[in-house]
Amino acid sequence: MIELSTEELQDLQDWRHDFHRHPETAFEEHRTAARVAELLRSWGMEVHEGLAGTGVVAVLRGALGEGPSIGLRADMDALHVTELNQVEHASTHAGRMHACGHDGHTTMLLGAARQLAKNPDFRGTVVFIFQPAEENEGGGRAMMEDGLFQRFPVQAVYAMHNWPGLPVGVAAVHAGPVMAAFDIFSLTLRGKGCHAAMPHLGKDALLAACQLVTQLPALISREQEAHKPAVLSVTSFHAGDTYNVMPEEVHLRGTMRCYDMEQRARIEQRLRDTVAAVATLHGLEAELDYHIRYPATINNAAHAEICAEVLAGVLGADNVRRDLAPSMASEDFAFMSQVCPGVYIWMGNGEQSASLHNPKYDFNDALLPIGVRYWVNLVEALLKDGKLPASN
């Protein structure tokens, strides 16, 4: 297992803190991308900038000759969150912070790139993918549409995410679904406004919207198979602005998540059916805007087994969890892993860590060298003999 020097450990922390101080949100990661490219070039790597606007790709060819090509991916973007941490490296950009740990993900992949560039003792090619706009905006899809795997073909792709609540030094690997598909919807109900004292003169969009908020969850609890998890949530409700007026319009927004793509289509159709039926019942016009966003992230089982074996070598077999339930959160890594075999793992960020997307969240620096060792050992395991595991 590689040993990182005191200077290298300090570099990791310095890079991470620098990224944390200067968070940049979706497709605005110009400073971050420039710093990533600068470091990669300083280690003699072939670097390509500008994929999906701010994406960075570096290519490293092994010293032992031809072999497979694999991709390692890290996300770079921050969130529109106001940081509440009182730390020296706190965000200097008002209303933006690295509340999901992408500063750490970028740093760990940079650390691995440096180690592998110094000792490229493998057969084949590693493609380091630094992706913009993972948070809601589909930077993974944008990179794919910009020709990521046409320009840099890979036979497998890998990613990781820190996981608060899981101890540092513990990792989780799934042999199938790991993150859910993610859709969003917005709904406008238009009725006839009137005086609140005379509701019979209007068409009550507010009452219909309340009916939908209570009825839509039944599309999951009473219509979906219990062994196929799904979530349908109304997350925003806007109507009216005074005491004595029944509003003309009501606006709802929400999200749907599941793992099964046939189930996804059924839920969307039933949502449309329910909205239409309620609107007809109340004599309203309904405008439903449904957006399919991220596919489900589903690990390739054979490649997941290799990742688990590598993690066992880094952390110890007892610290590799195979029993954690997949998350209903979503990941645009799915746009890459649905094209070729992929594995997305969770690395513990600490049991006392604030949750992801929390204004008091901070990436745990103790995880940095662990992530570097995992990436380096994974490359060595996959490319030691120039053969990837057979996909299933």
- Select the CATH number that applies to the domain covering 6-179+296-383 from these four: 3.40.630.10, 3.30.1280.10, 1.10.760.10, 3.40.50.12500: 3.40.630.10
Tokens of 339: 């094209």
Round to whole Å and give the CA distance between 140 and 142.
Answer: 5
The rounded distance, in Å, linking the Cα atoms of 191 and 237 is 16
Q: Hey, where are the domains in the chain?
A: 6-179+296-383, 181-294
Residue 343, pLDDT score? 98
Strand, helix or coil for residue 288: strand
What integer is the mean pLDDT of 136-159? 97
pLDDT of residue 146: 98
Least confidently predicted of 177-191, 225-239, 378-392: 378-392
Cα(61)–Cα(37) distance, integer angstroms: 17
pLDDT of residue 60: 98
Q: How confident is the model at residue 310 (pLDDT cuts 50, 70, 90)?
A: very high
Q: How confident is the model at residue 49 (pLDDT cuts 50, 70, 90)?
A: very high
* pLDDT score for 389: 79
Domains 6-179+296-383 and 181-294 fall in the same CATH topology = no
Query: pLDDT tens, 71-111?
Result: 999 999 999 999 999 999 999 999 999 999 999 999 999 99
pLDDT of the residue at 279: 98
Q: What local confidence, expressed as pLDDT, does residue 392 receive?
A: 64
Residue 386 has pLDDT above 80, yes or no: no
Considering the chain, what is the average pLDDT of its residues?
96
pTM above 0.75, yes or no: yes
User: What is the C-alpha to C-alpha distance for residues 321 and 309, in angstroms, rounded to an integer?
Assistant: 11
Task: Give me the amino acid identity at 283.
Answer: G
CB-CB contact of 126 with 60 (8 Å):
yes
CA distance 37 to 47: 7
- pLDDT for 315 equals 98
Chain centre to alpha carbon of residue 306? 22
CATH C-level class of 181-294: alpha beta
Percentage with pLDDT > 70 across the chain: 100
